[in-house]
């Protein structure tokens, strides 16, 4: 009861919204339009937060940081970056597109890897969360929303010289390390960092919840003559973790998994008359080694993604057009799913115009061709009216998502499969139509409320459905009495919902501040087919989450919490269940010393020792106490 009262008090306090502080940036976005625009001009619900908030919060990985931001549901399978699914506005976790500086990092193997973000937190300038579809601009997966991580070296802002070192230790043999360095020499900027999290973890059935997760990244920016800018990035990400019941509810499951990925990105920008030219090319390589049991042969999957795009933006008075072309190659080599390669090419553009002083229109369109589903046409429209304190906004558009290699070919290449999930090479691409209407009201320059109502109408949504052998489209390596779930297109799914986001930020004195972000979202879906689908029934019907930080003098206190209401589930074979609801709270207190260059802190994950799972069978840890120190040298 006390935890519910505490959460309610924090939520009521969060009906306050701040603008353009050291930590929060709520006035500018690029994700919804490819150009820097005020949020009030986009007609969309976009939440933006600066990357340096990460180090003030009671979190230890980027997926945990996102977990407590308004309107975002993170379904964790393991702690501190082991694995998480991301859901925005219901649907499935494959329907959220994750970008780094405007280039997709979603892996063609599975949407389970979308949160493997190969960027050190210190390199993040800001994170933009666009709620609702944006497939007309960004393509497949941009159905429920888009998360765009914008980094410091890929911006025209100069970097401050800075060195940071951080160490942390705690229960279950926890040891975390974090080191980063930024510098600016003339017109050249450089940033690099390494973050590594390790623990033995709590005891589980025949194993432990261990993880060994490390991310290293380095980037550089060069400003040249005649308004040319070049930015480059290289990053590596290695994660080795317990994966028991991450994908099955079998008692024999004592799985572990090793995922390695490499990310490279080259960005070229040229300012031109009335606009700009921009070109990008990114390359991602991922290796996934999965052991169902130590004695079994592993699944070995190797994927490659090559993405290239070019943009041209033109502005004339109150009219701006940005158009481009994108080409994407996806490839897999696997002893389980076989060897496959797919190409996708698209032309896209957005027209933005202002009518008078208060009315803004945005029309975007995409014409694409894919080896799987052929030609596709995707339009999107949004509008906003803003005057003084009030902004009214609306948007509507179509979106799509193609099946990943797991949905098409899981267990496709094995000699005999007696049970489990079976891929379906005959899947069609998902199609959907979404619409929303909302408002933002700014009481003062630092006080705003943002609220939206939305509807998503899916055709052919892909999910795993229990299916008998006789109905399997491919029976080559299956047995008649096997227990299978087939990837299928569900004909019609409708999701209706409402959301409210809020942020409060205030500074006083020298360095003192209080910050609070919070969100609430209600959702309901309807599936006329009444099929017992897996992921479609997994998202929260009601979600509250918040992040709080208070600094006074040398002390900083922060909390992160969420309340989730969802469908209950049970798996008797492994004595596991998903409770109908749960509340979890993290807390952290820190003290600055040595002229504020040093810091010591104590952190409690899951402070009230809640026993819960986001995914059936994947049990999350209870209370976890740790502590550490941080050294900041701003002129190193």
Q: How many residues does the chain have?
A: 636
Q: Cα(468)–Cα(200) distance, rounded to whole angstroms?
A: 40
Question: CA separation (Å) from 547 to 37, 53, 77, 81, 151?
Answer: 26, 10, 21, 19, 22
Report pLDDT for 73: 96
Residue 88's SS3 state is strand
Report pLDDT for 11: 37
Do the beta carbons of residue 453 and residue 89 sit within 8 Å? no
Span 335-380, pLDDT tens digits = 999 999 999 999 999 999 999 999 999 999 999 999 999 999 999 9
Backbone phi and psi for residue 601, each to the nearest 5 degrees, phi listed first: -150, 155
Residue 2's SS3 state is helix
Q: Distance from first CA to last CA of the chain, Å, rounded? A: 49
Report pLDDT for 27: 66
Report pLDDT for 381: 97
Report pLDDT for 21: 53
Cα diameter, the chain: 73
Element (H, E) at 515: strand 512-526
Span 538-550, pLDDT tens digits = 889 999 999 999 9
Do the beta carbons of residue 166 and residue 629 sit within 8 Å? yes
How would you label 243-253 residue by residue, b for 16+ Cβ within 10 Å and e otherwise? bbbbbbbbeeb
The alpha carbons of the chain give a radius of gyration, in whole angstroms, of 24
Q: Cα(586)–Cα(147) distance, rounded to whole angstroms?
A: 23
From the list 556, 549, 550, 552, the residue with the least C-alpha distance to 600 is 556
DSSP annotation of 10: H
Q: Cα(591)–Cα(194) distance, rounded to whole angstroms?
A: 24
Report pLDDT for 350: 96
Task: Show me where the domains of the chain are located.
Answer: 2-293+313-633
Tokens 């304190």, residue? 389
Beta-bridge mates of residue 359: 355, 385
Which residues of the chain are modeled with pLDDT < 70? 1-27, 157-158, 528-532, 636
Q: Cα(337)–Cα(412) distance, rounded to whole angstroms?
A: 5
From the list 160, 159, 194, the residue with the least C-alpha distance to 176 is 194
Element (H, E) at 161: none
Q: Which residues, 6 or more positions from 378, have their beta carbon under 8 angstroms from its beta carbon?
A: 135, 136, 365, 366, 367, 368, 397, 398, 399, 400
Ranges assigned E (strand) in 132-246: 145-151, 162-170, 174-185, 188-199, 203-204, 207-208, 211-223, 228-242
Q: Cα(565)–Cα(525) distance, rounded to whole angstroms?
A: 14
Residue 472's SS3 state is coil
CATH number of 2-293+313-633: 2.40.170.20
Q: Which two tokens stand for residue 309?
A: 């795009």
């Amino acid at each position: 009861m006390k935890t519910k009262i505490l959460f309610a008090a924090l939520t009521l306090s969060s009906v306050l919204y701040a603008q353009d502080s050291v930590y929060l940036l709520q006035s500018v976005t690029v994700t919804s339009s490819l150009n820097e625009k005020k949020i009030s001009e986009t007609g969309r619900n976009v939440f933006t937060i600066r990357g340096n908030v990460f180090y003030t919060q009671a979190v230890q990985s980027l997926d945990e940081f996102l977990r407590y931001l308004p309107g975002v549901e993170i379904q964790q399978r393991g702690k501190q970056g082991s694995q998480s699914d991301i859901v925005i506005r219901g649907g499935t976790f494959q329907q959220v597109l994750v970008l780094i500086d405007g280039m997709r990092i979603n892996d063609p193997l599975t949407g389970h890897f979308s949160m493997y973000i190969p960027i050190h937190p210190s390199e993040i300038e800001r994170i933009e969360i666009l709620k609702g579809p944006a497939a007309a601009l960004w393509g497949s997966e941009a159905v429920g929303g888009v998360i765009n991580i914008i980094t410091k070296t890929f911006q025209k802002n100069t970097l401050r010289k800075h060195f940071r070192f951080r160490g942390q230790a705690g229960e279950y043999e926890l040891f975390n390390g974090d080191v980063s360095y930024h510098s600016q020499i003339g017109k050249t900027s450089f940033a690099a960092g390494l973050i590594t999290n390790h623990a033995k973890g709590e005891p589980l059935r025949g194993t432990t919840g261990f993880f060994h997760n490390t991310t290293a990244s380095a980037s550089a920016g060069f400003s040249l003559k005649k308004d040319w800018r070049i930015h480059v990035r290289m990053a590596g990400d290695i994660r080795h973790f317990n994966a028991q019941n991450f994908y099955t509810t079998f008692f024999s499951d004592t799985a572990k998994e090793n995922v390695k990925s490499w990310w490279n990105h080259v960005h070229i920008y040229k300012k031109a008359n009335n606009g700009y030219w921009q070109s990008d090319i990114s390359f991602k390589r991922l290796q996934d080694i999965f052991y169902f049991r130590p004695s079994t042969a592993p699944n070995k999957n190797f994927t490659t993604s090559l993405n290239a795009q070019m943009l041209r933006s033109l502005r004339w008075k109150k009219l701006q057009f940005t158009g481009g072309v994108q080409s994407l190659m996806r490839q897999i080599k696997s002893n389980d799913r076989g060897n496959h390669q797919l190409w996708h090419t698209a032309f896209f553009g957005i027209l933005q115009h202002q009518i008078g002083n208060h009315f803004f229109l945005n029309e975007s369109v995409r014409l694409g061709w894919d080896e799987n589903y052929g030609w596709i046409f995707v339009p999107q429209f949004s509008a906003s009216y803003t005057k003084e304190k009030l902004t009214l906004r609306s948007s509507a558009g179509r979106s799509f998502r193609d099946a990943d290699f797991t949905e098409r070919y899981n267990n496709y290449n094995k000699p005999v499969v007696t049970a489990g999930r079976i891929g379906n090479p005959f899947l069609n691409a998902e199609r959907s139509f979404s619409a929303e209407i909302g408002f933002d009201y700014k009481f003062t320059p630092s006080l705003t409320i943002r609220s939206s109502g939305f509807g998503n109408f899916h055709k052919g949504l892909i999910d795993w459905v229990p299916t008998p052998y006789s109905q399997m489209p491919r029976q080559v390596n299956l047995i008649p009495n096997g227990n299978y779930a087939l990837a299928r297109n569900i004909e019609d799914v409708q999701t209706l919902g409402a959301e409210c986001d809020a942020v409060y930020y205030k500074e006083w004195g020298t360095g003192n501040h209080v910050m609070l972000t919070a969100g609430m979202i209600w959702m309901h879906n309807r599936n006329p087919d009444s099929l017992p689908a897996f992921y479609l029934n997994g998202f929260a019907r009601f979600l509250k989450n918040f992040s709080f930080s208070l600094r006074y003098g040398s002390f900083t206190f922060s909390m992160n919490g969420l309340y989730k209401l969802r469908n209950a589930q049970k798996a008797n074979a492994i004595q596991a269940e998903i409770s109908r609801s749960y509340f979890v709270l993290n807390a952290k207190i820190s003290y600055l010393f040595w002229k504020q260059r040093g810091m010591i802190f104590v952190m409690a994950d899951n402070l009230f020792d809640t026993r819960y799972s986001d995914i059936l069978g994947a049990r999350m840890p209870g209370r976890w106490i740790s502590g550490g120190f941080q050294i900041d040298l701003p002129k190193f």
